[in-house]
Amino acid sequence: MQQHTQEQVYFVEVQQFRQWWIWLIVLAVAALQWWGAYEQLLMKRPFGDNPAPDAMLWVFFVLFGIGLPVLFVSAKLITVVRADGIYLRFVPFHFKMLRIALSDVADFSAGQYSPLLDYGGWGIRMGREGKAYNVSGNMGVRLELADGRKLLIGSQQALDFVAAIERAKADHKH
């Protein structure tokens, strides 16, 4: 009989936003803020026919010219299956791992889904099918919890993720 500790790791996946069209939008918004700040703040040419006050332009520059790209560069979904549960962390929104005890998982399956139609997009979302954590693609693992709540965790390795849950549940019984 094998000894398993709570620290045993069955599965790890780290995902980031890699969709070209999301980056196109993020970089276009950032470029617009950089251009506006350059024109109005450095060149002293008003940005548009009805320019914003310089203080407001600074706020938008910091938020969208710097903050938005930094947010998307740093955002990642970390999924870990351990002997005692499934752990999630959506950086930078969660400061620590969220734990779903294996004993709370009543059912689970890998499958395809529509991020836009089922959950309204990517990120931490609520939809018809419950809560979702996803960053890319259309594959994931659906969990049904003992209390009836449903959760989707997007995964580029959904079959490996399910196999890890199965192994952890089987080992946890012994």
Residues 80, 166 share a domain: yes
The answer to whether position 2 is within a domain reads no
Residues (pLDDT < 50) of the chain are: 1-5
Q: Could you tell me which of 59, 79, 57 has the C-alpha nearest to residue 133?
A: 79
Residues 119, 88 share a domain: yes
Report the SS3 class of residue 83. Answer: coil
Residues 98, 64 share a domain: no
Instruction: Provide CB contacts within 8 A for 142, sequence distance 6+.
Output: 108, 109, 110, 111, 113, 129, 150, 151, 152
Chain segment 55-91, per-residue pLDDT in tens: 998 999 999 999 999 988 889 999 999 999 999 999 9
Rounded to two decimals, what is the model's pTM? 0.80
Q: Is 107 exposed, middle or buried (0-12, 13-18, 19+ CB in 10 A)?
A: exposed
Range of the domain at 110: 9-16+75-173
pLDDT at residue 45, rounded to an integer: 80
The answer to whether position 116 is within a domain reads yes
pLDDT at residue 121, rounded to an integer: 87
> Tell me, what CATH number does 149's domain have?
2.30.29.30
**Looking at the 3D structure of the chain, how many domains does it have?**
2
Residues 167, 82 share a domain: yes
